[in-house]
Structure 1
């Protein structure tokens, strides 16, 4: 894999930023035009689709990304891996679509959620097929280190979804219109992705005779364990939504999903790292560079904690001002669930890079135990609290389940063979968060008066002032408390494109010479 880890992270981050931006634009429009009840139904279908894709896609996506990235002394290794997983992808999508069709025909979804879910589920079959091949193309390209191609496919998918789904919903096609947008967008990305992949690695290998050189027992074992791991992981995302749809009123599901969307903004950076780390650290593990993996994990954990802490503080401070502006006046009930979800979302963010590094080594036993423990807590608490407290119970249960992921995955990392907390500086980060929260909340309260913004309407002044000022305060306090070194800030800035990078690199060199420490590029490149 001939590229630096930093470049991979920045490429994935760029794609995810565009995806996040498109989601920020489209989500409130869908919420307003569908209404809370239909938006909740749409969220429920997406949750069911995600659970189904675990069994259809996980073995393929995780397997091809991991094994293509490895260096093996087997003739035509990459070609054979791609062919094997493309055949497996086709077999699994045929079986999965058939089972989904039978369940829908038998009335299972109608019985659980209501009669309207029958037609939603038939559309979901198209989503399963299109998503399978889109995922295969993207993960294969990522395994080759070609994030510069895989991430534009994700952007294409999101742009296509907005272009197709938003007008359909606006003209009254509701949930079906949004789901058709998913099918068309995923199908377009799948077609283009396979064209790009074919030019890099011929897909004719899918028709070639198996020579028996692949370690299929090892690969299938990894695939099976990946399915178990991702099923447990995804249950943390979707069990609460599906249980709310069955046990609470429909408006509550929509409000709760709105809160979840905001809380998941915290995962932007951790998901970027998780996406890159599986195949990148797989190569490091295969070369025996265990100490390097531990140093990478330790720094990543601290940076993730710092970033998600300031985002959570800012989001909590602005929640009462921003949520009604973003989702609409009727979304006010989503504020309290959001505040309940934020602490757990920070814990889940910390666990993500640890989980990816464990996956990269291929030893999934301990990550499965850790994730399964958190998932079990999540299911039990949701079962108890949703009937009693509705969406507030779901938020409390899910936040505890999310937060436990950080604790369990630190233990898992130790068992796998790396230490993600050797440079965590938890006490200093927590102290930074507590001290910086006071002026940030005070500033948000003082600037809650609205101003008129073209197109949007009345928006509190705090929305524009608190994020930059709060970030500057947080970084200054973090440096003062030793949670973040000044050298580290300039190391990160030095990796950015010019003119930022050109301004930061000389400062970075001076600081590095002063401290006698390695630069970020030396640390990350392989």
Structure 2
């Protein structure tokens, strides 16, 4: 369990750093860009996320899976393949994108953003090289070696976007920033390869029979995982894109604030999911179902506790926080954020189930659930956004997050999946509603919209959460002592 905890803590540190960076960067960008440009950037980021999924072709998960399978063997071939396969795949899709864009241009369907996608596509080729090295290091439980580089990349990218916005590059600010950070990723890739992996760049090994066999396996798994990953991206981005289509950039900018803050609650689920994937795959391959059940249930417990603490806290403090940090122009995001937070509880737990399904023998199940939910999400957004605006988008998205969890649970309880779920639903629900009641009452009586008031309410919320969690029996004595020392 030590390497799993270490991995989760490393990725969590990266996630917390990303959270802090985002809470500084996003308000600055929102204020500097203004509603219109901020909304345009949000829409372009949504398209970029979908494009990144296509260019990635599931390489990150595929490499982690097959390198993890070879973890006890000295096999340099799979490491060489793992580095170059993502580059080859991304280059293929870049050429395909160029052909498609020029065909659209020939028939008069393209606009002035064609060159923008050329730059973004090129940055994705560079990024895929970094993907290969990250996946290898994750497989060897060296997540901590990647963290500082990931943080440096995020900070650099955010600073560059802000600089280009100030210099009035408008929507191209995003493309230029991604291109420069893509070049930085190449440098980091070379550094980590030479420092940790220490395998010579032997191009001949790419074409030998064993390497070709690994290439085929990685490519097959990647292609098989794409429908699920792409559907997940569409699920995450469809509300933004459809708001931009129906309501325009200004409303997109407002909703982006709500969505950005709600996504910050994915921090722990995302960190846990990224680490338990290759660990679950490794334990499954060794038939260690008891250990698999243990890491699954601990992941489920700590993910839910985190969501209760920060989800309820943000729900109660949503209005003063948004107004203070983003400004009055984004006050309309409050209700959407609160609705999205409700759905995020279910989504965080669903990610643990689906990640475990994907890492073991039920990749197709995870994909089908995600595809079904994504389709329903698009349909609901099409109906609700014209009727209820950004509130409708939040309702549609939150509902589909709950549907994802329901489908994941339905499959578990109707099949023999060889890992045991031990989840105290009654106690977790009791803690959620009790904590909400206490925190809401304290904020109603003593809260305010100043920074000091928000900090005091946040600290009061943390103390009440720890006390209630202990009273409900959800913290062990060691965990309770940890929280006490944390406060001190």
Normalised to the residue count of structure 1, the TM-score between the two structures is 0.85
Separation in 2 of the partners of 1:190 and 1:3? 31
Does residue 91 of structure 2 align to residue 94 of structure 1?
yes
Report the alpha carbon displacement of residue 119 of structure 1 after superposing the two structures with TM. 4.3
Does residue 419 of structure 2 align to residue 428 of structure 1?
no
Pick which of 285-294 and 82-91 moved more.
Answer: 82-91
Separation in 1 of the partners of 2:447 and 2:71? 59
Separation in 2 of the partners of 1:420 and 1:318? 37
Contact in 1 for aligned 2:63/2:218 (Cα 8 Å): no
Matched residue, 2:174: 178
Q: 1:476 aligns with which of 460, 467, 480?
A: 467
Matched residue, 2:331: 332
Write out aligned runs for 1:127-142 (5 A).
127-142=123-138
| Distance verdict in 2 for CA 1:139–1:485, change over 3 Å | same
Contact in 2 for aligned 1:134/1:187 (Cα 8 Å): no
Separation in 2 of the partners of 1:484 and 1:370? 32
Separation in 1 of the partners of 2:425 and 2:308? 11
Does residue 191 of structure 2 align to residue 195 of structure 1?
yes
- Other structure's SS at 1:204 match: coil
Report the alpha carbon displacement of residue 58 of structure 1 after superposing the two structures with TM. 3.5
| Distance verdict in 2 for CA 1:111–1:82, change over 3 Å | farther
Pick which of 130-139 and 212-221 moved more.
Answer: 212-221
Matched residue, 2:249: 250
- Other structure's SS at 2:210 match: coil
Does residue 285 of structure 2 align to residue 286 of structure 1?
yes
Contact in 2 for aligned 1:36/1:254 (Cα 8 Å): yes
Separation in 2 of the partners of 1:111 and 1:439? 60
Separation in 1 of the partners of 2:51 and 2:434? 44
- Other structure's SS at 2:167 match: helix
Does residue 373 of structure 2 align to residue 377 of structure 1?
no
Matched length: 482
Separation in 1 of the partners of 2:238 and 2:372? 15
Separation in 1 of the partners of 2:398 and 2:210? 47
Contact in 2 for aligned 1:247/1:387 (Cα 8 Å): yes
Matched residue, 2:234: 235
Separation in 2 of the partners of 1:215 and 1:104? 33
Does residue 75 of structure 2 align to residue 84 of structure 1?
no
User: Which segments of 5 or more consecutive residues in structure 2 lack a partner in the other structure?
Assistant: none
Separation in 2 of the partners of 1:289 and 1:438? 42
- Other structure's SS at 1:172 match: coil
Contact in 1 for aligned 2:78/2:214 (Cα 8 Å): no
Report the alpha carbon displacement of residue 176 of structure 1 after superposing the two structures with TM. 1.3
Separation in 2 of the partners of 1:131 and 1:412? 35
User: Which segments of 5 or more consecutive residues in structure 1 lack a partner in the other structure?
Assistant: 451-458, 504-526
Separation in 2 of the partners of 1:161 and 1:155? 10
Contact in 1 for aligned 2:77/2:210 (Cα 8 Å): no
Superposition RMSD on alpha carbons, in Å?
2.6
Does residue 210 of structure 2 align to residue 212 of structure 1?
yes
Separation in 2 of the partners of 1:317 and 1:206? 56
Normalised to the residue count of structure 2, the TM-score between the two structures is 0.91
| Distance verdict in 2 for CA 1:356–1:52, change over 3 Å | same
Does residue 146 of structure 2 align to residue 155 of structure 1?
no
Of structures 1 and 2, the one with the larger relative CO (CA 8 A, separation 6+) is 2
